[in-house]
Every structure is written in C-alpha cells, then in structure tokens.
A and B are shown apart, each in its own frame.
Chain A
Amino acid sequence: MVQYQARLDNAFAALSDPTRRGILLRLGREDASITELAQKFGMTLTGMKKHVTVLEDAGLVTTQKVGRVRTARLGPSKLKDESDWIETYRTMLNERLDRLGDFLERTKEK
C-alpha cells in the first residue's frame, strides 16, 4: 500500500508537466523511439531521455532497447475491467448534462 502510494505520487509528479502529458498521449496512439519523440517535441535527445525516465520511474512508460534504438511504450497501467469504463462513462455523462443545464439557462428566453 505504501509502495502503491509512492508510485501514485510519482505518477502525479510525472503528469504535472505538459510535455510529459503530450508524450503519453503520443504513445497512446503508437510506440515511438526516443529519437522520434525528441523530433516531435522539438527537443534534444538528452532532454527527451530525461522526460521519458521520469515517466518510466512513475510506471507510466516502459522502454526497451533493441540495437541502437530505444523504444518507449505506455506502461503497465491498464483498465482493470468493465467497472473502470463504467466509471469513466458516468463522469462524462454527468459533465455533459451539467453543460446542457448551463446551455439551457444561458439561452433561456427572457
């Protein structure tokens, strides 16, 4: 449990940076090498390596080196089961209905 908490803290720290969030979204689409990521985000290889290491330490990303290329992919965090999806959906539905309420108030005939 303590270990889990520490890892969660790491994950939140890792996600506090917009570039790192961008990297995760990019990896959500497909795996990418550090070089590709560096090009995509317009930074040096060293800079990108640092970001990826932070994400790796937080368990959000794993990397694997084959030959001279290090490839990054999304880490082990996965939806556990259907209940996670139901929860995500429930949040979306409520946010949507909040907005509908705002919209109806805003456009009310005076």
Chain B
Amino acid sequence: MTTTKQAPAKATLTTPSDREIRVERIFNAPRDRVWSAFTDPELVAQWWGRGNKLVIERMEVERGGHWRFVEHSPQGVHGFEGRFREVTPPDRLVYTFEWDGMPGYPIVETTIFEDLGDGRTKIVVTSLFYQTAERDGMMQSGMEGGMNESYAALDRLLERME
C-alpha cells in the first residue's frame, strides 16, 4: 500500500475564554491508534516528552487514577502529574495536569477523539485553567510561589533560545 505524503496537520488554536485553550488537530491514523497513543504507557513514552527522555512513574488509566511523568530535557528535569477524571474509550479522556514548576496552577485537559471515517482522526484538546480567585486562594495558603515562578520563567527563556 502506498501512502500519500501529506503535510502534517497544523493545530488550530482558539481561545473560547481567557481561561481556556482549545486545540484541534487531525492525524492520519485511525481513532483506535490515536487513543492507544494517549493511554498506553509504552506509546506515550515515545512522543509525550517532546523528543526528550520521558520516565512514566505512574499511569493508572481509570477514573481517579494517578499519572506522573518526568521529562528529562537538556535544561533540566520537569515533573508533570494529575489524575484521570474520565476515561471513555475510544472517544473521551479527561484528566488534571499540573507542572511541578507551577504548583497551584492545575489545568483540566479534556481530549475528544473524533473518527473522521476516512482513516483519519480529529482530536480536540480543551484546557481549562483554574480561575484566578481559586488560584489566589491556593497561593495564599503558603505555596512557595516565587522561587518556582522564577524557575518557570527561566525555563521559558531557555526554551526560546533553543
């Protein structure tokens, strides 16, 4: 079977509200494969780290299950974690996402997998950021914000230099 070389589908970014990011993307792969890429740790390890080594410390793909990934980039080690809120194969995955470098700023990521019927799959990722009021409450409860914020800002600067 010959495959037609297609340019990678670019993400469509929209901002439904100032605390929400929505990304749509179409992949040249059937929905089951895309679902597996998100939920099978062996497959996740091959792309989630953005080209960096990724250590999957925990990945319990079930409602309430904990996940924790550690990315080893040249600039340092970054931990990400959260809990699965909804696992509905093969079309809906909801989990919380928190970066160690930004404690107290959890995001709820909802990923919808849509079968386009021609061997391709559209995913829509909606990321909901906590409201400022909720976040401020967390920050006031003795979070060590400053240091981590500096670290995060530094990482961004370093990333831009790559």
Contact = CB atoms under 8 A, between A and B. Distances in A.
A77 B157 contact: yes
A65 interface: no
> Interface residues of A: mostly helix, strand, loop or mixed?
helix
Interface in B66-102: 75-76, 99, 102
Nearest to A101: B8
Given A79-B149, A84-B153, A28 B76 contact: yes
A84 B23 CA distance: 18
Contacts of A24: 154, 158
B75 to A, nearest CB: 6
B117 interface: no
A89 to B, nearest CB: 7
Contacts of B29: 104, 108
A78 B150 contact: yes
Nearest to B131: A82
Contacts of A50: none
B75 A25 contact: yes
A41 interface: no
Q: How large is the interface on B (under 10, 10 to 19, 20 to 34, 35 or more residues)?
A: 35 or more
A108 B154 contact: no
B53 interface: no
Interface residues of A, number: 40
B9 interface: yes
Nearest to A81: B132
B120 to A, nearest CB: 10
Contact of A104 (B1, B37, B75, B146): B37
Contacts of A98: 8, 50
Contacts of A94: 11, 13, 23
B153 A78 contact: yes
Nearest to B109: A93
Interface string A1-36: 000000000011001100001001100110000000
Top 10 nearest A-B pairs (CB, nearest first) are A28-B151, A103-B47, A99-B47, A74-B150, A104-B29, A79-B149, A95-B50, A100-B47, A101-B8, A78-B149
